[in-house]
Chain A
């Protein structure tokens, strides 16, 4: 019932509607677009190096003859997948750590929150930058884990403080007196009641992760070649952006559109799920 109300509110919200339409179009472009183009992202056209956009190569070609359209869409697929996975991991971790710390209190709370403080102080950029180039050859999923590992702390603090008040509610007390194990109470009664916060947070984490991935890849600390992402493409294009603007404009434009669409949805979700909230 509530989900119907929320969905209705979301659809009535103009920002969220535009953001949603834009996101659907972008995802369709990333996953259906490659079938429409004439080239695969691994193809190299040795007759067209650095050619500007034309009827054959819609978005031009790179310095080694790759079709920019195919490569950019491939990069966008990777960016979207990374964003979604990081958001899932980060929000999940934030919910678990925050809820356990808040529910158990005492030394569990102290230890977990110290860990959170420490991770907040550690320069995440530095740590990911040191570790990730050394994962060359390993799966890019490790990169997702690294990004997620530094994206959950602030949310887990919010979750903790909300759990502190949920802990005293009647239904939680009732579950406790019925002899349900505490971890089950956390998973069944506390985390679901934080769902609006978590949904909003996960949405905003997606855009944060997309930006984070692109930023690290910009210095070569992210996705490693031959694989591509929007970040590596922008880094590549930025070097000759004045001479060959199509190498830069398409990946950069898509990145901004993607992040903007997700942020609009996130903001709309916040209005729909949590009408009283302010930030």
Chain B
């Protein structure tokens, strides 16, 4: 088991390196940071531009491979290079990474827990009204893309706040810098409400569908009947025996759903003006900021593979057959 996980880890590191390199190559060959300097008034001399771009390792006159080696050498030692206007990518990333991770962590945990709970509940109440209502609403939710959901939430909150005459729920930004202490904390929580809803609703619907089907499959099996026959209460039998078995497929889908959530985070951050990694990606692409794009893609690759690794661990801890073989 340990050996298996170690080998998995090694493959993942190689995959991350490959993915980041490919992203860098793509960004470096197609993007044009020079454009930001060329159009300036008064015009900047070409030698000056060259010197500036050289200093940031962004000069398109240097062969791509040479620039790549400089960049890769920096990344190995923990230096992600400079942004298009000379800022440090490391500093920018340090500012933004926690913003995104907080959003993603809360979104993933809430999405998984609520999705599984809703799905399991729905399966236990099969064909009742609550089951049907959950089924229909999860279908509708899955048909609403994140960017639409986020926009709708923002519009609804805007109207709600205007109707009430004061700001009940915040819909832009991450916190109010003028507050401090306890107020600040509450304010942060308030700002978290809408992005969390927009990020989790989709995955709740997704997990609930899988979990319901799996649970239905398990409920009629002998071991659940045996568990109840030996005197366990229905609730204990369902939680300890049925739910645990039915969780395995949801756990395998965990990595996949996390990738979708990363993309969702880009839209959520952008629409609710959070300055996280996702919003940075969109800005960096628009600004031809090669090193930032490469840094964000490294971050997403690490996140996706970490989720895949976590999903392996989760499956292994739930399924004894995996642990033995």
Contacts and interface: CB of A to CB of B under 8 A. Distances in A.
B297 to A, nearest CB: 5
Interface string B281-308: 1100100000001001100110011000
B96 to A, nearest CB: 16
B285 A279 contact: no
Question: Which of A126, A154, A256 gathers most chain B CB within 10 Å?
Answer: A126
Contacts of A214: 145, 147-148
A263 interface: yes
Given A117-B15, A242-B159, A126 B145 contact: no
A279 B249 contact: yes
Contacts of B148: 214, 234, 252, 255-256
B22 to A, nearest CB: 6
B250 to A, nearest CB: 10
Nearest to B217: A278
Contacts of B297: 122-123, 126
Contact of A123 (B214, B217, B270, B300): B300
A143 interface: no
A207 B145 CA distance: 11
A264 B271 CA distance: 29
Given A218-B267, A242-B158, A259-B143, A134 B18 contact: no
A127 B143 contact: no
B263 interface: yes
Interface in A92-131: 117-118, 120-123, 125-127, 129-131
B19 A122 contact: yes
Contact of A256 (B144, B213, B256, B259): B144
B30 interface: yes
| Majority-rule SS of B interface residues | helix
Given A118-B15, A215-B147, A264-B139, A278 B304 contact: no
Interface string A243-279: 0000010001001110110011001000000000011
B18 A118 contact: yes
A162 to B, nearest CB: 17
Interface in A204-226: 207, 211, 214-215, 218-219, 221
Contact of B145 (A121, A215, A248, A267): A215
A241 B266 CA distance: 20
Interface in A123-156: 123, 125-127, 129-131, 134, 154
B26 A218 contact: no
Contact of B27 (A130, A219, A278): A130
A123 B147 CA distance: 18
A260 B139 contact: yes
B2 to A, nearest CB: 22
A50 interface: no
Interface in B109-159: 139-140, 142-148, 151-152, 155, 158-159
A238 interface: yes
A126 B23 contact: yes
A121 B19 contact: yes
Nearest to A131: B30
B140 A260 contact: yes
Given A118-B18, A218-B147, A255-B145, A154 B256 contact: yes
A122 B293 CA distance: 12
Given A130-B293, A242-B155, A279-B249, A121 B304 contact: yes
Contact of A134 (B19, B30, B213, B217): B30
A117 B262 CA distance: 17
B272 to A, nearest CB: 13
B16 interface: yes
A260 B146 CA distance: 14
Contacts of B145: 211, 214-215, 255, 259
B210 interface: yes
Contact of A260 (B143, B155, B293): B143
A121 B143 contact: no
A279 B210 CA distance: 6
Contacts of B249: 278-279
B31 interface: yes
B281 A126 contact: yes
B233 to A, nearest CB: 27
A278 B296 contact: no
Given A123-B23, A214-B145, A263 B300 contact: no
A126 B15 contact: no
Interface in B1-39: 15-16, 18-19, 22-23, 26-27, 30-31
Contacts of B214: 278
A120 B256 CA distance: 9
5 contacts: A121-B304, A122-B297, A215-B263, A221-B285, A263-B139
Q: Which 4 A-B pairs have the closest CB atoms?
A: A260-B143, A259-B143, A121-B19, A278-B213
Interface of B: 15-16, 18-19, 22-23, 26-27, 30-31, 139-140, 142-148, 151-152, 155, 158-159, 210, 213-214, 217, 249, 256, 259, 262-263, 266-267, 270, 281-282, 285, 293, 296-297, 300-301, 304-305
Given A126-B281, A279-B210, 14 more contacts: A121-B19, A121-B301, A122-B22, A123-B23, A125-B281, A126-B285, A129-B282, A130-B26, A130-B31, A214-B145, A214-B147, A238-B151, A256-B148, A259-B143
Interface of A: 117-118, 120-123, 125-127, 129-131, 134, 154, 207, 211, 214-215, 218-219, 221, 234, 238, 241-242, 248, 252, 255-257, 259-260, 263-264, 267, 278-279
